[in-house]
A and B are shown apart, each in its own frame.
Chain A
Amino acid sequence: MESTSLTATIVLFIIVGYALYTGVKTLKKPYQRLVDQEPISLYEKLINEGIRLSDDLVNCRYKLPQDAMKAYRRLNQWDEKVQHLTRFKVVQ
């Protein structure tokens, strides 16, 4: 075999070895989706609070009536707050 052919063969073997080695490395590399940690908006905060308060009220089914009354009052306060904020277009 000529020297140029030999060189081409050796270069090709290096390329194949490199491609296989790094290819398997890439194959084994996992990637998990990153959840962005940006602060949630006021709207989302209000919605989450409302869901939590209404859950509290529903969970008062087997509790004392006073607890249910408290939960009901807190939900009403939240409702007033939302009404107030939407009137002044603070919440987008």
Chain B
Amino acid sequence: MSVVPILLEIRDWLPFLYSLLFVVSIGVFKKHTSLSLIVVLLALFEFISNAITLPLLDIMNDKSIDYVIRLSAWVGFWVLSNRLIIELLQRAHEWLNITKGKELVMVQGAYIGLISLLAIDFINQITFKTIVIDVLYRFGIPTINLSIAGYLLFAMLKHMEFKKWKAQA
């Protein structure tokens, strides 16, 4: 189980990668694209979630409250914040009038995957307590986060080709 801490360690560096991607994106494309918008919002979200995870865990470790209530508060918080980021990404595209592309669909799909994983783990924790689903959850959350970052990096490199200039009459 020593892989999970490494994955979590890499995940803590994601907001910095996203910030770098944002700067490279606006530098290369010279305008706000769907990709730069997604990347900057994800960077903000990751910064905030990294900052509040530990204080929230301290509150949740209060043994005087029933375990199920603490667990549902924890899962509920993350489900709602993931739902919020899905909505925020969509709204930001509408506010800035940017076409919703494949990248946004993939990122939103990944966040829906995170919500499902949280729900599955919650059911497992209160009923079956299977080790398999627990391992799946522990691996799944950082893996999905890292795949979002990897996909966005790949998408940016794919778009970074030089296109012939065309006159637009």
A20-33 interface mask toward B, CB cutoff 8 Å, 1 = contact, 0 = none? 10111011011111
| Interface size bracket, B side | 20 to 34
User: Which chain A residues border B108 with CB–CB below 8 Å?
Assistant: 23, 26-27
Closest chain B residue to A36 by CB distance?
A: B97
Closest chain A residue to B90 by CB distance?
A: A26
- The answer to whether residues A22 and B99 also contact, given A1-B68, A11-B72 and a CB cut-off of 8 A, is no
B25-38 interface mask toward A, CB cutoff 8 Å, 1 = contact, 0 = none? 00000000000000
Within 8 A of A (CB), among B55-78: 66, 68-69, 72-73, 75-76
- The answer to whether residues A19 and B69 also contact, given A9-B126, A12-B76, A33-B98 and a CB cut-off of 8 A, is no
> Could you tell me the distance between the alpha carbons of A34 and B94 in the complex, rounded to whole angstroms?
9
Task: Select which of A5, A20, A23, A30 is within 8 A of B100 by beta carbon.
Answer: A30
Report whether B66 and A31 are in contact in the complex, using a CB–CB cutoff of 8 Å. Answer: no
Interface residue? B112 (CB, 8 A): yes
From A2, A27, A32, A51, residue with most partner B Cβ within 10 Å: A27
> Could you tell me the distance between the alpha carbons of A8 and B70 in the complex, rounded to whole angstroms?
9
Tally the A-B contacts, defined by beta carbons under 8 Å. Answer: 76
Considering only CB atoms and an 8 Å cut-off, how many residues of chain A contact the other chain?
Answer: 27
Report whether B90 and A20 are in contact in the complex, using a CB–CB cutoff of 8 Å. Answer: no
Report whether B79 and A19 are in contact in the complex, using a CB–CB cutoff of 8 Å. Answer: yes
Known A12-B79, A33-B97; further 7 A-B contacts with Cβ < 8 A: A4-B69, A11-B72, A18-B83, A19-B115, A27-B105, A29-B100, A48-B169
Could you list which residues of chain B lie within 8 angstroms of chain A, going by C-beta atoms? 66, 68-69, 72-73, 75-76, 79-80, 82-83, 86-87, 90, 93-94, 97-100, 105, 108-109, 111-112, 115-116, 118-119, 122, 126, 169
